[in-house]
């Protein structure tokens, strides 16, 4: 349900230095850098910008970049935002331009070379590591066995991914059950339509597990654009490797904290930060004095790795490792140690000394998975049993987080309850949902140190919600600043609902200028199913009969007759049958092109909010299709005429708005 693509930069001068395409490309790189450790400081920029072609290692050494950046901005601990990053880029670019005498007359013309080469450069080390990962985890797949193992030194990976099957299956390795494999087209020879369906299913499912997709579409996979395909694979593998870094999967992580307040703080951290905290926790045991803050410059000398592995597996240690003078030699000894532990994967000694952030993160995550060194008898583990069951809150938090992250890559949050508390990203999301609504003159941009400035932002968030007719009884800006989970989720639900209604409303040729309501969506769905010859009906978005999943399969079949293979549909009576149908519904909807963030449990339990978004997404997808592509059983007038009438449905329109009950 991604909506309006907003302005990436608010500073008019910066806007004039770049085209929108260039800004998107640099925003993608910036988001990727920040995501590696959850935070980006001035000190990080010198190493993180190494792969940028113009200001990277081929023209400036890391030491030169560090010296120049420090001269621009001496406070190395300050957190970097996107506009600051762009200014640093332009200054470094001007310096390089002066050195090599490029004669570029304007930054935009010079930048084109940088962004183009940046985006089309891939790391052979990363490619080899990801190929090895795929060969290992998909080795037993019946369909892919004829293609595996892939030769890591070739470009076969990009040919094999062109039909979308491998990518879909890799997503299921990362987050099992995400895609119903019955929905994947797996014929030996796929036609363009079937291949496109696989790619659409893959991309929508990737968004649903938390991948941030910028500038990548189905055509990019078909054409095997290596930088984009490898970037997608990298994110999928990263999600898999970090899956255990939470208290639900690894309750022993409570050993990293002291009390219940710190446990809650730990639970809100992104997995990369938890991994860093775990690493530093283990390093303290060895007397290592430094703090590791990233998976690049802080581990390049391999000293931290030498100490970490000695703590986790001293029986496999080599005394020569810690006394080695040469970082490359030390890195080789570290990997020999890891090999004896059964943990040598993802990187080479050169990758360590080069500071490859993706591969170093993968290496540390792999070590954590196999030997984390945490106690299983810690008394604090029993504390976790006293925490309230927040399964529903966790599911909704994840859905709204992925929805915000899906817009265009310009927004990225790790935790809804923490990252929205200053109001800034909420204001940006409001701007995307309803362009022009935010008064940016009174908005306070991060980093925000003064609490009342955060309250000012959140007060505007609440004010704009009321302007959009959200139900916001007894909610104030300070509730968001304080991280009130119930109220934040209630606000986000109404914002997501507003987004899909706005998208539907924008299809004026169907709504005839009329405001579209929840009732209209309900009646549209019932009309489509009825016109397709079925007697199935939903009385409301809370209708318990929806748990069987069959109504939505009827609806999907009505909007695209070839989409559902009815021989795979169950009666939806037992819990297992309901789950099979629900999984199939979600995969078929994503395969058509619906961007949805619900889980099978949301259908089985009839979560009315997520049921509404599912139905509205199918409606939006259908109404966007050209008339000639729609089933002939229902004319275009049929799909729109009911929007002009007043429905007698028993659905309470306000019920969808209220999460405050």
Percent of the chain at pLDDT exceeding 90: 57
Token pair 């360590």: residue: 352
Tens digit of pLDDT for each residue in 263-297? 778 877 889 999 999 999 999 999 999 999 999 99
pLDDT at 652 over 60: no
- Least confident residue range of 205-209, 257-261, 587-591, 649-653: 649-653
Please list, residue by residue across 585-606, b when 16 or more beta carbons sit within 10 angstroms of its beta carbon and e when fewer do: bbbbbbbbbbbbbbbbebbbbb
Tens digit of pLDDT for each residue in 126-156? 999 999 999 999 999 999 999 999 999 899 9
Of 622 and 625, which is predicted with more confidence? 622
Tens digit of pLDDT for each residue in 385-418? 555 556 777 889 999 999 998 886 667 888 899 8
What rounded mean pLDDT belongs to the chain? 84
pLDDT at residue 411, as a whole number? 77
- Cα separation of 229 and 127, whole Å? 10
Of 399 and 509, which is predicted with more confidence? 399
Reading the block at residue 470, the tokens are 């959200």
pLDDT at residue 410, as a whole number? 67
pLDDT at residue 510, as a whole number? 55
- Cα separation of 604 and 583, whole Å? 10
Token pair 């999967």: residue: 249
pLDDT at residue 251, as a whole number? 87
CB 404 within 8 A of CB 425: yes
pLDDT at 102 over 70: no
Reading the block at residue 280, the tokens are 């530093």
Tens digit of pLDDT for each residue in 35-53? 766 678 888 888 888 777 6
Query: What is the reported pTM?
Result: 0.78
CB 433 within 8 A of CB 499: yes
Q: Per DSSP, what are the bridge partners of residue 79?
A: 41
Helix (H, G, I), strand (E, B) or coil at 41: strand
């Amino acid at each position: 349900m991604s909506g309006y693509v907003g302005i990436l930069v608010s500073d008019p001068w910066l806007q004039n230095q770049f085209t929108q395409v260039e800004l998107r490309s640099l925003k993608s790189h910036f988001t990727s850098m920040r995501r590696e450790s959850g935070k980006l400081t001035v000190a990080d920029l010198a190493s993180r910008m190494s792969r940028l072609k113009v200001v990277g290692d081929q023209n400036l050494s890391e030491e030169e970049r560090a010296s120049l950046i420090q001269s621009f901005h001496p406070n190395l601990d300050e957190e970097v935002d996107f506009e600051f990053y762009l200014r640093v880029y332009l200054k470094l670019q001007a310096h390089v331009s002066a050195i090599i005498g490029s004669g570029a007359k304007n930054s935009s013309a010079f930048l084109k070379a940088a962004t183009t080469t940046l985006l089309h450069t891939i790391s052979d080390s990363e490619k080899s590591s990801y190929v090895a990962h795929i060969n290992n985890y998909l080795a037993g797949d019946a369909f892919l066995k004829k293609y595996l193992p892939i030769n890591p030194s070739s470009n076969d990976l990009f040919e094999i991914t062109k039909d979308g099957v491998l990518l879909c299956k890799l997503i299921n390795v990362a987050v099992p059950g995400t895609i119903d494999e019955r929905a994947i087209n797996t014929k030996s020879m796929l036609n363009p339509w079937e291949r496109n369906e696989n790619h659409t299913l893959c991309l929508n499912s990737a968004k649903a597990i938390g991948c941030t997709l910028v500038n990548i579409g189905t055509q990019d996979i078909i054409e095997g654009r290596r930088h984009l395909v490898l970037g997608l694979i990298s994110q999928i593998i990263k999600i898999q490797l970090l899956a255990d870094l939470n208290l639900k999967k690894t309750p022993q992580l409570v050993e990293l904290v002291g009390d219940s307040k710190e446990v809650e703080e730990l639970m809100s951290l992104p997995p990369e930060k938890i991994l860093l905290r775990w690493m530093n926790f283990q390093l303290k045991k060895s007397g290592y004095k430094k703090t590791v803050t990233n998976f690049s410059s802080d581990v390049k000398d391999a000293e931290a790795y030498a100490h970490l592995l000695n703590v986790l597996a001293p029986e496999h240690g080599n005394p020569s490792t810690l006394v080695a003078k040469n970082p490359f030699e030390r890195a080789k000894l570290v990997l020999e140690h890891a090999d004896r532990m059964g943990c040598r994967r993802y990187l080479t000694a050169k990758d360590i000394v080069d500071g490859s952030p993706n591969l170093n993160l993968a290496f540390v995550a792999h070590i954590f998975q196999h030997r984390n060194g945490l106690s299983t008898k810690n008394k604090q583990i029993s504390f976790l049993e006293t925490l309230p069951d927040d399964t529903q809150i966790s599911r909704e938090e994840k859905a709204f987080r992925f929805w915000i992250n899906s817009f265009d890559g310009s927004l990225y949050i790790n935790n809804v309850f923490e990252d929205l508390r200053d109001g800034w990203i909420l204001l940006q999301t409001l701007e995307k949902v309803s362009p022009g609504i935010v008064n940016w003159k009174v908005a306070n941009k991060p980093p925000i140190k003064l609490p009342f400035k955060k309250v000012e932002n959140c007060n505007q968030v609440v004010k704009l919600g009321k302007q959009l007719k959200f139900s916001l009884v007894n909610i104030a800006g300070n509730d968001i600043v304080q991280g009130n989970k119930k109220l934040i989720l209630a606000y986000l639900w109404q914002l997501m609902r507003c987004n899909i209604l706005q998208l539907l409303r924008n299809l004026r040729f169907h709504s005839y200028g009329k405001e579209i309501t929840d009732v209209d969506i309900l009646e549209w769905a019932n009309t489509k199913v009825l016109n397709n010859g079925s007697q199935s009906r939903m009385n409301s978005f809370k209708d318990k009969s929806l748990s069987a999943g069959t109504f939505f399969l009827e609806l999907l079949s009505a909007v695209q007759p070839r989409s559902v293979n009815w021989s795979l549909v169950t009666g939806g009576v037992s819990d297992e049958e309901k789950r099979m149908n629900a999984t199939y519904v979600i995969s078929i909807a994503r395969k058509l092109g619906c961007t949805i963030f619900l889980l099978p449990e949301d259908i089985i339990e009839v979560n009315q909010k997520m049921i509404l978004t599912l139905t509205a997404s199918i409606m939006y997808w259908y109404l966007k299709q050209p008339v000639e592509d729609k089933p002939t059983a229902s004319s275009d007038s049929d799909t729109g005429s009911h929007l002009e009438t007043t429905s007698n449905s028993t659905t309470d329109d306000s019920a969808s708005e209220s999460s405050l009950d």
